Amino acid sequence: MGEAAEALSGNPWERAYPADVDYHAALPRRPLYDLMDEAARRFADRPCLDFLGKRSTYREIGALVDRAAKGFQEMGVRKGVRVGLFLPNTPYYVICYYGVLKAGGTVVNFNPLYAERELKHQIDDSGVETMVTLDLAVLYDKMARMLDETGLKRVVVCPMAEILPFPKNWLFPIARRKELATLRADASTVPFRRLTANDGRPAPVSIDPAEDVAVLQYTGGTTGVPKGAMLTHANLTANAEQCSLWFVGAEPGQERMLGVLPFFHVFAMTVVMNLSIRFGAEIILLPRFDLDQVMQTIHDKKPTLFPAVPTIYTAINHHKDLGKFDVSSIRFCFSGGAPLPVEVKEAFERNTGCILVEGYGLSESSPVATGNPLRGVNKPGSIGLPIPGTVIEIVSLEEPRRVLPPGEKGEVCIRGPQVMKGYWNKPAETAETLRDGRLHTGDVGTMDEDGYVFIVDRIKDMILCSGFNVYPRNVEEAIYLHPAVAECVVAGVPDEYRGQTVKAYVRLLDGEDLTREELCAFLKDKLSPIEMPKIVEFRGELPKTMIGKLNRKALLEEEKAKRAEGDRVDNG
Domain residue spans of the chain: 1-24+233-242+260-458, 32-206, 463-571
In 135-203, beta strands by DSSP E: 154-158, 189-191
The CB density around residue 560, as the number of other CB atoms within 10 Å, is: 12
State percent of the chain over pLDDT 90: 79
- C-alpha span between 280 and 298 (Å, rounded): 19
Confidence of residue 494 (pLDDT cuts 50, 70, 90): confident
For residue 365, count CB atoms less than 10 angstroms from its CB and return exposed for 0-12, middle for 13-18, buried for 19 or more: buried
- Amino acid 222: pLDDT: 44
Most confident of 65-69, 316-320, 523-527, 541-545: 65-69
pLDDT, tens digit (0-9, with 9 covering 90-100), for 77-121 = 999 999 999 999 999 999 999 999 999 999 999 989 888 888 999
Q: What is the mean pLDDT of the chain?
A: 92
Q: Any residues with CB less than 8 A from the CB of 454 and at least 6 apart, and which? A: 379, 381, 382, 383, 445, 446, 447, 448
- Amino acid 5: pLDDT: 40
Tell me how far CA of residue 292 lies from CA of 225, 256, 315, 324, in angstroms: 36, 19, 10, 12
Torsion on CA atoms 207, 208, 212, 214, rounded to nearest 10: 50
Q: Using the predicted structure, report yes or no on whether residue 464 has a pLDDT greater than 80.
A: no
pLDDT, tens digit (0-9, with 9 covering 90-100), for 327-348 = 999 999 999 987 788 889 999 9
- C-alpha span between 39 and 252 (Å, rounded): 10
My answer on whether omega of the bond before 18 falls inside 30° of 0, hence cis, is no
Q: Which CATH number fits domain 1-24+233-242+260-458: 3.40.47.10, 3.60.20.10, 3.40.50.12780, 2.40.50.100?
A: 3.40.50.12780
Q: Using the predicted structure, report yes or no on whether residue 6 has a pLDDT greater than 60.
A: no
Confidence of residue 4 (pLDDT cuts 50, 70, 90): very low
Query: Out of 14-18, 234-238, 390-394, 444-448, which region has the weakest mean confidence (pLDDT)?
Result: 14-18
Q: Using the predicted structure, report yes or no on whether residue 221 has a pLDDT greater than 70.
A: no
Are 522 and 512 in contact by the 8 Å Cβ rule? The answer is no
Greater model confidence, 324 or 5: 324
- C-alpha span between 260 and 337 (Å, rounded): 14
Q: Using the predicted structure, report yes or no on whether residue 278 has a pLDDT greater than 50.
A: yes
Q: Using the predicted structure, report yes or no on whether residue 531 has a pLDDT greater than 70.
A: yes
- Amino acid 571: pLDDT: 58
Are 169 and 203 in contact by the 8 Å Cβ rule? The answer is no
In this prediction, residues 341-368 reach a mean pLDDT of: 93
- C-alpha span between 341 and 165 (Å, rounded): 39
- C-alpha span between 75 and 131 (Å, rounded): 12
Q: Using the predicted structure, report yes or no on whether residue 3 has a pLDDT greater than 60.
A: no
Question: 32-206 maps to which CATH number?
Answer: 3.40.50.980
Q: What is the DSSP string of 12-30?
A: GGGGG--TT--TT------
Tell me how far CA of residue 143 lies from CA of 121, 130, 138, in angstroms: 13, 10, 9
3-state secondary structure at position 505: strand
Greater model confidence, 496 or 396: 396
Longest Cα pair distance anywhere in the chain, in angstroms? 71
- C-alpha span between 398 and 264 (Å, rounded): 36
pLDDT, tens digit (0-9, with 9 covering 90-100), for 401-415 = 899 999 999 999 999
Q: Any residues with CB less than 8 A from the CB of 565 and at least 6 apart, and which? A: none
- C-alpha span between 142 and 116 (Å, rounded): 7
pLDDT, tens digit (0-9, with 9 covering 90-100), for 133-176 = 999 999 999 999 999 999 999 999 999 999 999 999 999 888 88
pLDDT, tens digit (0-9, with 9 covering 90-100), for 542-570 = 999 878 889 998 999 999 888 887 666 55
Q: Using the predicted structure, report yes or no on whether residue 466 has a pLDDT greater than 90.
A: no
Query: Out of 264-273, 356-365, 438-447, 547-556, which region has the weakest mean confidence (pLDDT)?
Result: 547-556
- C-alpha span between 94 and 124 (Å, rounded): 24
Q: Using the predicted structure, report yes or no on whether residue 360 has a pLDDT greater than 50.
A: yes
- Amino acid 142: pLDDT: 95
- Amino acid 159: pLDDT: 97
Same-fold call for 32-206 versus 463-571? no
State percent of the chain over pLDDT 70: 95
Question: Is CATH 3.40.50.720 the classification given to domain 463-571?
Answer: no
